[in-house]
Copies of this chain bind each other. A is one copy, B any other.
């Protein structure tokens, strides 16, 4: 079964809005045991929509369209679908009922002059929109099905969840998957030196993919139609072991929150250059409040000194970006937040602020527990947002190593 997604919208193509529906849909379909085979992102232009529909209807069995169902002039998906299939646009009673009840829900009267939500191509069915106003569209032809949903992520996701369920999907072959997450080793070394023998064994029955630089390292994903859980042991007994930080599909923050919660370890942060990003990554994890206490984002010297109690001499002598300051920040967080492990970060995310000795990309990461403390200086490359991410990943890896030993 070939499934494709067509994303219609100038805003995505112009980079004004980042698409999130594509990756969400991929994961959703994967959980249903199938997969997304292609994504096309095209503008709100009749000609382009028509030519993409023509290709899609020839190659795919399920075609999901997002965007262009809104009430305004640039929303031309509905009109173009009608033209493509040579259908008239007509008032649809079921769609009209949906619209009226949506408007009731938000306490506004609906009159047909407001929009054309109730008018859809003949022979199309309206799909209920659980969280928004525009109904979706469903059309079944001999060799394919079309589902069109609004592009707004919450609406798209809610509608797809209702419209595409295991019952609706034929021909499902769940794939077994094993994810090996590494750090500190180059992709080519894994493939051409360290894991050659293991891969030779695996290849006949499984697909091996690699995704570089997730959380600062390389992820390997092994996919197979047969059960491959036993390969976990093979990897842990292989020369790759020292580089593996996780086998499974948890993200770095999820793994940290899970382990810290199990071990009843309280975590806290003192962030300067990461500016709250580490804290935000940890609190993205549902249930993080069980072990994560908080962060002092000390962007100013004053907060470093007054709240984190970093000594003025330390700042004067070694600078704000130094192992010494990072360590005192971690100690400050440890004491002030009353946690079991605290991390301190201080660095230069750029583009300004670098010097010859401490270029943009330099970060000091300090770590403090009841029994020991450590601090190191690292240098990374990247732009401001890339560096904030790398800084945060590096600090979280330091944190994970310590949690593992406790």
Mark A residues whose CB is within 8 Å of B: 10-20, 22-27, 30, 35-44, 48, 51, 55, 59, 70-74, 113-115, 131, 152-154, 187-188, 191-192, 208-214, 219, 221, 269, 271, 274-280, 282-284, 286-289, 292-300, 302-303, 306-307, 336-338, 349-352, 381-386, 388
For the complex, give the distance between the alpha carbons of A383 and B28 in Å: 15
The chain B residue with its CB closest to the CB of A383 is B154
Which residue of the partner chain, among B12, B25, B280, B286, contacts A15 with CB atoms under 8 Å? Answer: B25
User: A107 to chain B: closest CB distance in Å?
Assistant: 13
Contact partners of A388 in chain B: CB under 8 A = 280, 283-284
Contact partners of A72 in chain B: CB under 8 A = 187-188, 191, 210
- Number of copies of chain A assembled together: 2
The chain B residue with its CB closest to the CB of A193 is B114
For the complex, give the distance between the alpha carbons of A191 and B12 in Å: 20
For the complex, give the distance between the alpha carbons of A40 and B41 in Å: 6
Q: Can you name 22 A-B residue pairings with CB atoms under 8 Å? A: A11-B211, A14-B35, A17-B211, A19-B23, A37-B48, A70-B187, A71-B191, A72-B210, A74-B210, A152-B213, A153-B386, A275-B279, A275-B284, A276-B276, A276-B278, A283-B297, A283-B299, A286-B350, A286-B351, A286-B384, A294-B296, A294-B297
Which residue of the partner chain, among B70, B192, B303, B352, contacts A337 with CB atoms under 8 Å? Answer: B303
The chain B residue with its CB closest to the CB of A287 is B352
User: A266 to chain B: closest CB distance in Å?
Assistant: 8
Whether A40 lies near B37 (C-beta < 8 A) is no
Contact partners of A30 in chain B: CB under 8 A = 14-15
User: A292 to chain B: closest CB distance in Å?
Assistant: 6
Other 10 A-B pairs with CB < 8 A, given A14-B27, A276-B278: A39-B39, A73-B191, A276-B279, A280-B280, A283-B349, A286-B351, A293-B303, A295-B295, A300-B337, A306-B338
For the complex, give the distance between the alpha carbons of A59 and B292 in Å: 53
For the complex, give the distance between the alpha carbons of A55 and B275 in Å: 45
Which residue of the partner chain, among B17, B24, B299, B382, contacts A214 with CB atoms under 8 Å? Answer: B17
> Contacts A15-B27, A38-B42; is A294 near B300 (CB within 8 Å)?
yes
